[in-house]
Amino acid sequence: MFESITKGLEGALSFLRGQTKLTEKNIREALQAVRQSLLEADVNYDVAQSFCDRVARVAVGTEVLDSLKPFEQFVGVVHRELIQLMGPVDHTLNLAKGQVGVIMMCGLQGSGKTTTCGKLAKMLQGEGWRPLLVAADLQRPAAIDQLRIIGEQLGVPVYTEPPTSNPVKVCQNGVALARKQGDVDVVILDTAGRLHIDDELMQELKQIDRTVEPDQVLLVCDAMTGQDAVNSAKVFNAALELNGVVLTKLDGDARGGAALSVKSVTGVPIKYIGVGEQLDKLEMFHPDRMASRILGMGDVLTLFEKAQQHFDAEQMAAQQEKLRKGKFTLTDFRNQMQQVKKLGSFSSIMKMIPGMGRISEMMNDADMDPEQDLGKIEAIISSMTEAERENPEIIDISRRRRIAAGSGTEPSMINKLLKEFTNAQKMMQNMAGQSHLDRLRSLQQMASMGAFDPGAEVSFGKNRSARAEIDKEKKKRQRKDAKKQRKKNRR
Ligand SMILES: Nc1nc2c(ncn2[C@@H]2O[C@H](COP(=O)(O)OP(=O)(O)OP(=O)(O)O)[C@@H](O)[C@H]2O)c(=O)[nH]1
Ligand SMILES: [Mg+2]
């Protein structure tokens, strides 16, 4: 998501790295590069222009803070203005318990309407609502079956009529049925798409809007189509007074043009974003988090929420307890790996951690495949007996050979894994013994090394490792503390 615009902005902003002061001249030069990278990302021309004008006004007028470098100060302004551009936050669907809310989905062909109907039903279901899906796309006979299958997957009812019926009638009948039966509190209408905006489609949608009076009309836009998505949003909004946009396929959108322009051009907020084909790949849109992602600053909040949704709380608590008692085994190691895997691919997780997006890219460039490595580790642990997982020290040469054969790896890899595991075990035991304050201090030290600054040159691998850097900091602090103590004792 947004790889190319992130790279473009990084390049544009790095111009300010070597500067000691923000001046009108260097701000102007940096902004020229920012504007160029926005246009390359397919951001609407007027939007890019007025964005840069605003950043210039704010940056020039900003008081120079001694504590911030010019680069940091400027990135701060760009971050805030990006949030302004995409915001404010608006996830409201105006549903109320005891009433039947109606959400109408519309959009061009293939934009992701039907899939998004399913994703939204799943999300609402998770929040305790009882959805009904209505198949009002009678253009393609297969569309009805597509929605029916999605409904079956989710255990959500789907209202259908034969393809010879009329879409307006289907919507009216579906909503009437929901009101009568009383076991549904939100109806989601899946309407037909067209290759291009045409009058017939608009008339059909307007008629549904007038007769059914949905509480929400949401436009589904394919982010990959950039400015075309924004232009179609303008036309749909003129005809239907949209309540919001769902921007789909952001997982494949490297440029970000639609995400950055849609609100500004149409005045309609982005409410949700689609980040994958599966039905759980719908997220609420947070302009601040999106701005952080675009600037390569990560998105820890989304990662945290995902973890809360996907992690098995009981299992985690049990593992914490084992950790505390110093009983962390290979079985726990595998369990944790499996839990983390539920969050998504390795590279998608890395991108959400500040400063890590780059590292993941570097791994890709170096042809490293963490996904494959993790798969191998899992295979190795699964090829061990229960006793071996609990007491890895019993793994001798012949056991090692057996495990390697069972997992399709080499005995040397088993050695490596056991060594890594012993290190991880030690580290975890240390962490478990640390107070909250100590853990915070470790984080602070990492931050001071630039680990959370997207542009900082964090040394890793070939140079001094992050661990050594932390140890050095720790020793320095200890020496300082000891000196203080000696001084105190002398008094
Ligand atoms: N990668 C990705 N693919 C998506 C996303 N949303 C939808 N798709 C895919 O886009 C294609 C079209 O999705 P549909 O839901 O059938 O689109 P539609 O708007 O209902 O299409 P019509 O009914 O033909 O107008 C499918 O292959 C979906 O799996 C998303 O957020 N990310
Ligand atoms: Mg469809």
Domain ranges of the chain: 3-86, 101-295, 304-433
Q: What is the pLDDT of residue 23?
A: 82
Q: CA angle 219-223-229, nearest 5°?
A: 60
Residue range 101-295 in CATH 3.30.200.20: no
Q: In what order do the strands lie in the sheet with 186-191?
A: 158-159, 131-136, 186-191, 101-106, 216-222, 244-248, 270-274, 282-284
Q: Count of alpha carbons within 13 Å of 155, Cβ hemisphere only? A: 6
Position 120 pLDDT exceeds 70: yes
Q: Residue 451 — pLDDT band, cuts 50, 70, 90? A: very low
Question: pLDDT per residue over 375-419, tens digit each?
Answer: 888 889 999 999 999 888 899 999 999 999 999 989 988 888 888
CA 226 to ligand 1 centroid distance, Å: 16
The CA distance from 40 to 38, in Å, is 5
The CA distance from 48 to 55, in Å, is 11
Q: What is the pLDDT of residue 459?
A: 33
Q: What is the pLDDT of residue 455?
A: 37
Nearest ligand 1 atom to alpha carbon 137: 23
Contacts of 425 (CB under 8 A, 6+ apart): 328
CATH superfamily for 304-433 is: Signal recognition particle, SRP54 subunit, M-domain (1.10.260.30)
Q: Residue 140 — pLDDT band, cuts 50, 70, 90? A: confident
Write phi, then psi, for 162 (nearest 5 degrees): -60, 155
Ligand index nearest the alpha carbon of residue 107: 1
Q: What is the pLDDT of residue 468?
A: 53
Q: What is the pLDDT of residue 420?
A: 78
Nearest ligand 1 atom to alpha carbon 119: 6
The CA distance from 446 to 432, in Å, is 18
Q: What is the pLDDT of residue 465?
A: 43
Q: Which CATH number, 3.80.30.10, 1.20.120.140, 4.10.1240.10, 3.40.50.1370, labels domain 3-86?
A: 1.20.120.140
Which tokens in the block code for residue 401? 């050979």
Domains 3-86 and 101-295 alike in fold: no
Terminal CA-to-CA distance of the chain, rounded, Å? 60
Look at 9-18, 81-90, 281-290 and tell me which has the smallest mean pLDDT: 9-18
CA 109 to ligand 1 centroid distance, Å: 9
CA 219 to ligand 2 centroid distance, Å: 13
Instruction: Name the nearest CA neighbour of 110 among 248, 17, 228.
Output: 248
The CA distance from 77 to 68, in Å, is 12
Instruction: Name the nearest CA neighbour of 191 among 213, 210, 217.
Output: 217
Write phi, then psi, for 241 (nearest 5 degrees): 50, 75
CA 293 to ligand 2 centroid distance, Å: 30
Position 454 pLDDT exceeds 80: no
Name the more confident of 71 and 403: 403
